[in-house]
Structure 1
Amino acid sequence: MLKIEVNSGENIDRALKRYKNKFNRTGIKRDLQSRRQYTKPSELKRTQLQKAEYIQSLKDAEQF
Structure 2
Amino acid sequence: MLKVVVKEGENIDRALKRYKRKFRNVKILQELRQRKHFTKPSVAKRAQVQKAAYVEQKFKTED
Give TM class, smaller chain: 0.7 to 0.9
Cα drift, residue 29 of structure 1: 1.5
TM-score norm. by structure 2 comes to: 0.84
Unaligned stretches of 5+ residues in structure 2 = none
TM-score norm. by structure 1 comes to: 0.83
Report sequence identity in percent. 52
1:20-62 CA distances to partner (integer Å, 9 max, x unpaired)?
A: 0111111112111111111111110110111122122223333
- Other-structure match for 1:40: 40
Aligned Cα RMSD in Å? 1.3
Unaligned stretches of 5+ residues in structure 1 = none
Aligned residues: 63
Instruction: Determine the C-alpha separation between the residues in 2 that align with 1:7 and 1:56.
Output: 42
- Other-structure match for 1:14: 14
1:52 aligns to 2:52 (yes or no): yes
